[in-house]
Amino acid sequence: MLPLIMIGGGGHCLSVIDAALSAGHTIAGILDPAATLGDKIGGVPVVGNDDDIEPLAASGRYSFIITLGSITDPSRRRSLQQRVTDAGGLLATIIASTAYVSPMATIGTGATVLHHATVNAEASIGSGCIINTGAIIEHRAFIGDFTHVSTNATVNGDCNIAHDTFIGSGAVVSSQVNIGEPAVIGAGAVVISDITESGTYVGVPAGRTAQKTR
């Protein structure tokens, strides 16, 4: 495995550092425009900022993972990942040592599966996704690119989740439910029927609020 460069030095970065180290990765450094060169985040040095993405990616010496978190809008994560690939960089996929990923599941490039998460048989996780601590993705669920399934959330079997969706902590998406457009599912919400419009959905059962998400 090539040494990792992490892009984004906030709280989510700490979780990914821990997962990456547990899986045997070597971390070369962090790029973060808000941090001072030489500072350490979780014991990992800050080695540059976003301006360093292209030359480091073009060098062929590193792999990359986006460690900027996202809730309502993953567009910044998407843009940073695109810069890596446009420059010829290699995207890593991080699976924590305590996570369970079925050999029948597929995990996209640039995705992270954090500690104690479960990805069951024939589930599909898209590029750039975050499957956070303790999250459960059941059999044959499809998770679109850059979706974030937060801590202890559950996506049940045969669900289809649109790209760029956020599923909050402890939320549940019932079996065979489709989230057809990017949405924000609030913490603890229970989605029991298909979602066909973008928006924020909260409650039990989940209903759409008037809040604009994007």
Distance CA 109, CA 126 (A): 8
The position carrying tokens 């998400």 is 213
Q: Which amino acid is at 94?
A: I
Closest among 111, 94, 173, 108 to 137, alpha carbons compared: 173
Q: Name residue 101's beta-bridge partners.
A: 119
Here the tokens at position 195 are 């979602």
Tell me if 193 sits within 8 A of 176, measured CB to CB: no
Distance CA 72, CA 58 (A): 31
Bridge pairing between strands 183-185 and 199-202: parallel
Bridge pairing between strands 94-95 and 112-113: parallel
The position carrying tokens 């949405």 is 183
Determine the Cα angle at 187 with ends 183 and 189, to 5°. Answer: 75
Which residues does the annotation mark as catalytic?
A: 139
Here the tokens at position 177 are 């439910």
